[in-house]
Amino acid sequence: MPRRLKIALMGTRGVPASYSGFETCVEQLGSRLVARGHDVTVYARKHHITYDEPAYRGMRLVKLPTIPNKYLDTIVHTFLSSVHGLFQGYDIVLYFIAGNSPVVWIPRLAGQKSIINVDGLDWKREKWPAFAKRYIRFAERISGVTANAVVTDSHVVKQYYLDVYGIPTTYIAYGAELPKRPPGPILARLGLKPREYVLYVGRLVPENCAHHLVEAWQGLDTDMKCVIVGDAPYVDEYKARLRAVKDDRIIMPGYVFGEGYWELSSNAYAFVLTSGVGGTHPALVESMAFGNCVIVHDTPENLETIGDAGLAYDGKLGGEGLRPVLQRLLDDPGLVETYRRKAAARAAQKFSWEEVTDAYESLFYDVLAGRRVASFDRAVSLVENS
């Protein structure tokens, strides 16, 4: 019988999940690890998580301060979390976000093993200026040095780390099971009818390209609604640009989580992912699990996720590329139903939170057994050549 582990999850805003896919991953993975008998601690940002109980779904919460700044918020909090964790006797510290890799070595000072999930290629995001992009590329390069193991949730990103940095990574998918909900209060509040709206869910930042959907919708002859769910800090100009479009068919309710998100996802006509960067997008795999017909920006990562179970548009063409794909689906409900079935089947086969938990648990025991430990000689070589 494998021994019980003491595990810390660091690098995100914390739980309950209320922002992005990594927070959802922490909640889904952490709660399942607890159910399997492990001791799990989640480090949360004090200014972000207002939940005031000491534990959530069996996970101990440690709230620490940070500097609420676009560039310092994450790394300062992760550094403080790492120092705090030195004295907690963890077996495994699992980090998220490649930009945290410069502090991932800290748990190793106390004999703890560290693992980092690097997500997608964050330096491609338009929100980062040149100095931040250089930092993220540096953080990617040293991730295989500072951590005992590196995790990616996309085969495309896995190959990138091997080709560019010579870093072998472990592929672990993102999970997607969420409860379906019938039409209810959120649809009523937004004036929506089931199967009469197209849904987008994501942060409203330029590289997620929500403007593709807004632009595409302008040229469609339809009474169907377009619901753009999301928000983001530090991008007021971009959000103002989206909201400046005068079209009563486009609804932008801001963030919607939990029951409201499940209800919107359960009753959409189709789901559109316009993002042009990142690895496996949580909202995409979740929408597939809800049985939605999905349309994606044709990045390699998005195409990997949908396989033959969705449609794609040429992202370089923006709204002009997306519009005919949307029109095709609006004109052919039968085709939408076909892709609904395909998406649900692919999600059930590839994106299971229980299987994700199995994979992380197996990785934890491998790392503890010394089977995936970084070489110091290789570390020196990578740093010298950076």
C-beta separation of 92 from 113 below 8 A: yes
pLDDT digits (tens, 9 = 90+) for 96-113: 999 999 999 999 999 999
Task: Tell me the fold of 6-175+352-384.
Answer: Rossmann fold (3.40.50)
C-beta separation of 75 from 66 below 8 A: no
Single-letter amino acid, residue 89: G
Write down the pLDDT at residue 24. Answer: 87
For 208-231, what is the mean pLDDT? 96
- The mean pLDDT value of the chain amounts to 91
Write down the pLDDT at residue 19. Answer: 57
Nearest to 290 by CA among 314, 309, 318: 309
Percent of the chain with pLDDT over 70: 93
Asked if residue 194 has a cis previous peptide bond (ω within 30° of 0), the answer is no
For 78-95, what is the mean pLDDT? 98
Write down the pLDDT at residue 376. Answer: 37
Confidence of residue 123 (pLDDT cuts 50, 70, 90): low
Single-letter amino acid, residue 39: D
For 30-57, what is the mean pLDDT? 95
Is the pLDDT assigned to residue 383 strictly greater than 60?
no
Distance CA 263, CA 199 (A): 11
Confidence of residue 184 (pLDDT cuts 50, 70, 90): very high
pLDDT digits (tens, 9 = 90+) for 328-378: 999 999 999 999 999 999 999 899 999 999 999 999 999 999 887 654 334
Q: Contacts from 206-209 at CB under 8 Å and sequence distance 24+?
A: 206/126, 206/127, 206/235, 206/238, 207/124, 207/125, 207/126, 207/127, 207/275, 207/276, 207/277, 208/274, 208/275, 208/276, 208/277, 209/274, 209/275, 209/276, 209/297, 209/315, 209/318
Q: What is the pTM of this model?
A: 0.81
Q: Crossing angle for the helix pair 333-350 and 319-331, nearest 10 degrees?
A: 110
C-beta separation of 8 from 43 below 8 A: yes
Helix, strand or coil, per DSSP, at residue 151: strand
Confidence of residue 70 (pLDDT cuts 50, 70, 90): confident
Distance CA 376, CA 46 (A): 35
Domains 6-175+352-384 and 185-350 share a fold: yes
365 Cβ contact partners less than 8 Å away, ≥ 6 residues apart: 2
pLDDT digits (tens, 9 = 90+) for 141-180: 999 999 999 999 889 889 999 999 999 999 998 898 788 9
CATH of domain 185-350: 3.40.50.2000
Is the pLDDT assigned to residue 119 strictly greater than 90?
no
93 forms bridges with which residues in the sheet?
8, 114
378 forms bridges with which residues in the sheet?
none
Sequence spans of domains, the chain = 6-175+352-384, 185-350
Write down the pLDDT at residue 294. Answer: 98
